[in-house]
Structure 1
Amino acid sequence: MYKVLLVDDEILVREAISKKIEWNELGYELVGDCENGKDAIEFVKSHPVDVVLTDICMPYIDGMGLSKYLSENCPQTAIIIFSGYSDFEYAKQAIQYKVSEYILKPVTAKELSEVLIRIREKLDSKRKEEKKIDQLTKVYHSYTKNEAVIISRILSRLVKGTQEVKRSLDELKEFDIEISGSSYRTVVIDIDVYSGLYEINPEQKKESALMAFVVENISSEIISEYNAGIAFRDADNRVCLLLWTNRPQEFRKEIVEICKDIQKNVYSAMQLSISMGMGCYVDSLEELSKSYESASEVLQYRYTKGSGIMFDCEEEKQKENPMELEMDYRDIAIAIRGGDREVLDDAMEHMRSWLKTGYINRRKSIAYLQHVLQIVYEVGRETQESFVLPDSALTSITEARNLDQAMEITKEYALSGLKAVQEACQTSGERQAAQAMEYIKDNYGNPDLSLNSVCEYLNISTSRFSTIFKEETGKTFLEVLTSVRMEKAKQMLQKTTMKNYEIAEKVGFSDPHYFGIAFKKATGMSPKEYAKGRKS
């Protein structure tokens, strides 16, 4: 039975929940109820509970304050909040305090029972996992005191080449271990759930040691079946296989089968995904460090290619083509400058594909993505001097667990650059369109006024200007110029006695006949008819 504490400032609510929920049938025992968070905190200090069911709005200490206390002091306690508040800020705080369920009032007995069933299933699973870890811990503590640890240290020094081979072999003989063959190979096994973590906290380190212990035991059993070598753990809680044979040709196929069996059995036993780096073949124990280093190196491809894979350094690898990457860099810069989301998406996806299909390790991948950030920064500054990337940009890519995460982070920053350029261009476009209108109004009388002369004045390409001008005014340059000239001509026809050819010349038409045609097209009347109609 899991113990439950009910917290609500309304006694009727507490009584209703207490009576309507079939606690025992659901696997719970209601051990107490409190009317505010302050009383609840005092209660759990002396009566630990598994679940706290609480309202938000209460005197003294509210539900959020209680949740904060529980998350900091009783992290194993599941928290269920039921509240009439759907405000996003409450939901955010609930996530921050690791609240298990957030239910909006009114809530029925059936709904609350369903939530309690979900919580019980999670608690059952957690209890089962804790029991399994406790059992492993006991075995592990026994293991750390025995000869297996000493053997692992000797083998680790042997494959890393940090100790003379003869000395290592002599030390191993004391444990009745003899290594002799005509071909040797090392395999490095890493548990994927702990891989790529920028930092491992003490709890994760303990868990990884226990899991590595299980992987080592499974590996040892399988290797002994093949009579092919020995398994041990290195200082980083990775499991290493030292394999040897006097039958090199058969050995190659056998190693693949050994690795597949280990992967299959580890997943079957612990639902753990593992990746393997298979080092190069060497002919002597003195060369083992080459095999170990190549195994460790090839395992880094997991960052780009994904987990649960066997990486063989003997496989022919596709060579990097830096020209493809340069094209992606160029396209990303073009996309950001042009404010083109589609081009940016295509360039980033091509880069992702290139990194995944090539044999590129974590260090290089991060360097390539950080260069993208440099491009984003430089292009962003071209249009917005105030544009900056946060200080955390580079480190967030470094701390990403795999390429997919790093790519998503990089893309978000690239989009921020693109949006900054779009905003700057929009502001710039408004300004350029306004400047063009002023220029037209000041120079409409010049018969040589043209699209080219305006663009030369604004220092912008005709195609770019035409697009901006149409977006801002809704008209083409020629439509606006003609409209301004016709309006000026109307004013002159109304207020002066100037001849048509004189007015035509004043508004920028060198040909009076063409002026007449343009005027009639714009107003439906000839200049003479318009003047007569306005003056009569």
Structure 2
Amino acid sequence: MYKVLLADDERIILDGIAGIIEWDSIGTSLIGKAQNGLDAYEFIMQYKPDIVISDIKMPGMNGLELIEKVSSECPSVQFILLSGFGEFEYAKQAMKYGVKHYLVKPCNEQQIISSLKEIIAEFKQKERREKAAECLKDELEHIRSYAANQYLEGLLTGVKNQAPPLAVQDKTINLILVKTDAATQSYQTAKEAFGSDLTAFCHLGDYAILAVEAQRNEEVLEKKLAVCFEGCQLTISRAGELRHAKDLFEEITDAYSESKHSALISKMVKLVRGELGNPHLSLKWAAKEMLYMNPDYLGKLFKQETGEKFSAYVTRTRVEHAMKRMKSRKDVSVSDIAEEIGFGDNPKYFSLVFKKYTGLTPSEYRKKQRGASVR
């Protein structure tokens, strides 16, 4: 029901219009009557009617002054002006404020109803346009979100079959890893918490991955996450561009992995990453030179917590690093990579270790990568 206010200083006209029109039958509701412009203005500010039927000449504030004031504060309010014969100059002034309906007294019931119906038709047409625009906006947002989510998933899984959406490809984001198995709930929760700041989302195994537009205040980000994913284990990356999400993901998965270990084993994991190029890196070297502990005891602890021997972990980390380098830098020689990851001047030994781990020599691995990129 569209709300209507009547304003006229003549009580007989005010009551006459109020009583003669069947307001409900045309989809309206008469919510008030005022006998001067000041009372009408106060009523409009408080109750926000959709339509005001107003006399031009009223005490306190005339109809034109009322329209001028209301049009700047409540521009959606539509007016039907009533005036005496020969007051067309007022009508011309009223048109400046968008008033289209001007009735000369004495006016009958049908004239007022006709004006009301025209205004209501305009309201409904505007509502249909706004609804259509909102539906289109929602559809475009859905398409954009889907494209961004697919792009993020492709970056993380290495399946680059999705072009980067222009609206998000250069965005600076924080990547957030949340351990949860409720994919739909996680997305809705993240969307409600971050709104348009949620740049992309995907679900990999038991992990929800959020790409959130980089927050100036990291405390705000942490508070939102604490509320949204209460009780879930989560890790936040440094800020970086969305197109570098793979690197950010690897960083936070490493950090997440470390968080599951004791302080000592986490320290050993960090030590391996920091000393990857050190040809002397071994359990004995780490125990003697860096951790000052018994190597046998350290090795036993490391195997208990990680399920992997320290030497095997070092080799795996080195080879995985080499694989990443071969993918990202096709111009770097095998010798340079071997030296970079601690094999010194012995690229042949590196090739043997690499083949044992991957089933391919470094050159075969590179050929396979080139073939994949051509396809």
Common fold: TM-score over 0.5: no
* Structure whose residues are more often helix by fraction: 1
TM bucket (normalised to shorter chain) is 0.3 to 0.5
Output the TM-score relative to the length of structure 1.
0.28
Larger radius of gyration: 1
Output the TM-score relative to the length of structure 2.
0.39
